[in-house]
Structure 1
Amino acid sequence: MTEAYGRRLGEALRVENAPAIATRVLRTADIAVTEVRCDNPLPQMRGSIQREDAFLVGLHLRDFPNREHWEDGRGTQVSDLRAGESCLYDLKRGPGALLDKPYHTLVFYLPRAALDAIADEANAPRIGDLSYKPGAGVNDVTISCLGNLLLPALSHPDQVNPLFLDHVLLGVGVHVAQTYGGMRPMSQPPRGGLAPWQERRAKEILRANLKGSVALKEVARECGLSVGYFSHAFRRTLGMAPHQWLIEQRVALSKEKLRDDGLSLSDVAADCGFSDQSHLTRAFRQTVGVSPGAWRRTLQR
């Protein structure tokens, strides 16, 4: 689905290379994000997207002055879009725009099924249409922050932590449902964390997948919880998100491996589930405060 969605959106917006990542953190639908960038658009180039029951959220990473926008074949307004602003689009209404200037945008794809699943997990009524002004930019700090977290993942998909991806894209979906769809849970979820058996089971699964990847929904299912509640309960119990805990376990394992002088840093990275030596170095430095090479030299001294 990831390549197909990125290619489909790229073709609609006249972009040859449109890297995309997707997650099925929800059981019934995918949430995706695609990066589209065009530095040399053709004069009077127009972009339009096939109709379907889904929404797009575009995070603009570059100023786009005097953009013409339309829905259902009718012009809506001409607006100046600033870097950091977001726009919402209802694909049922056939949105389109005149793309006659360079642009750089992150586009989040939220099908109706994903929003329904988010509402179901929150024990909330399903939402109708999103509230937005067609073609207008919104200064949504949450979308901007979450989108910028995903830029490195789009540049280096081989280094993507699936748990991190699940966490961020689900956060985008929940934020949109609440902020623009008016979603409100009918009852507040319990404030407690994981039960002891759930904590043990979650740690077992995550440790068993240190060298590979595991989807957040699989861990939540093993604990008998929805993805949203599991993430909340895990953080409350252990003080960090599941993907952060997994990285700390990989770093802890790498410390043991670094005691073996016969292993190169590349070997250690591969043995501990990192995509390469630079990935190990970044995670190790963030967790320990020094590079793995410096830590090994300290041991030797």
Structure 2
Amino acid sequence: MNAINPLLFRSLLASLRSLPDDEHVALEQVMRELSAHWVPEAAQQQPHPPCDRVALSPWQERRAKELMSSQMDKGLSIARIASECSLSRSHFSRAFKKNTGLSPRDWYLQMRLDKARGLLSDSGLTISQISLDCGFADQSHFTRVFSRMTGVTPFNWRRSMATAPLCCAE
């Protein structure tokens, strides 16, 4: 079988990525399957130039963030997220950091802490329940991480939010 021209393949992939979201996801899966069949032969015939820009495509970044958001209280491995984005763990981690400025682990932690701050400010949930809802092992772990990142305990954060004056009330 003749190898597919890598430039043709990249051109097809770029065209697929320009389709609306609901159409390009299924077509990208077809392209991945085709590439698994054809591209290894092409790689043996001619080396690929190094990639200047390691980054996630919009669908990969969106998928990764959706997975992290939906699995916040259950925990999630970077390897699983990378697999869902059809990338190796190391390539995914580099590309995610290129896109967001944060490693997947740091972005995930920041998202969990943002949710915790919101729940501390706007809900009557206990700190223990908030820690579990945000994916921390227990209240003690949550308190250590929250304090290290914000400089204040969750209890003091909540208290300061309760006593903060409303800025725009007239």
The two structures have a TM-score, normalised by structure 2, of 0.62
Q: Deviations over 1:211-247 (max 9, x none)?
A: 0122222211221211111111011111111111111
* CA distance in structure 2 between the aligned counterparts of 1:289 and 1:189, rounded to whole angstroms: 40
Aligned to 2:124, which of 256, 262, 286? 262
* CA distance in structure 2 between the aligned counterparts of 1:191 and 1:242, rounded to whole angstroms: 18
Secondary structure of the equivalent of 2:113? helix
Pairs within 5 Å for 1:1-301: 188-260=50-122, 262-301=124-163
Q: Provide closer, same or farther for how the CA distance between residues 202 and 226 of structure 1 changes in structure 2, counting only shifts above 3 A.
A: same
Aligned residues of 1:247 and 1:283 also touching (Cα < 8 A): no
Q: CA deviation at 1:292?
A: 1.2
* CA distance in structure 2 between the aligned counterparts of 1:267 and 1:235, rounded to whole angstroms: 31
* CA distance in structure 2 between the aligned counterparts of 1:222 and 1:250, rounded to whole angstroms: 21
Q: CA deviation at 1:192?
A: 2.9
Aligned residues of 1:193 and 1:236 also touching (Cα < 8 A): yes
Identity of aligned pairs, percent? 40
Number of matched pairs: 116
Q: Provide closer, same or farther for how the CA distance between residues 251 and 288 of structure 1 changes in structure 2, counting only shifts above 3 A.
A: same
> Pairwise CA RMSD of aligned residues?
1.9
Aligned residues of 1:285 and 1:291 also touching (Cα < 8 A): yes
Partner amino acid for 1:270?
L
The two structures have a TM-score, normalised by structure 1, of 0.36
Secondary structure of the equivalent of 2:76? coil
Aligned residues of 1:192 and 1:236 also touching (Cα < 8 A): yes
Q: Provide closer, same or farther for how the CA distance between residues 283 and 189 of structure 1 changes in structure 2, counting only shifts above 3 A.
A: farther
Q: CA deviation at 1:259?
A: 2.5
Of Structure 1 and Structure 2, the greater helix share is in 2
Structure 1 runs not aligned, ≥5 long:
1-185
Of Structure 1 and Structure 2, the greater strand share is in 1
* CA distance in structure 1 between the aligned counterparts of 2:50 and 2:143, rounded to whole angstroms: 41
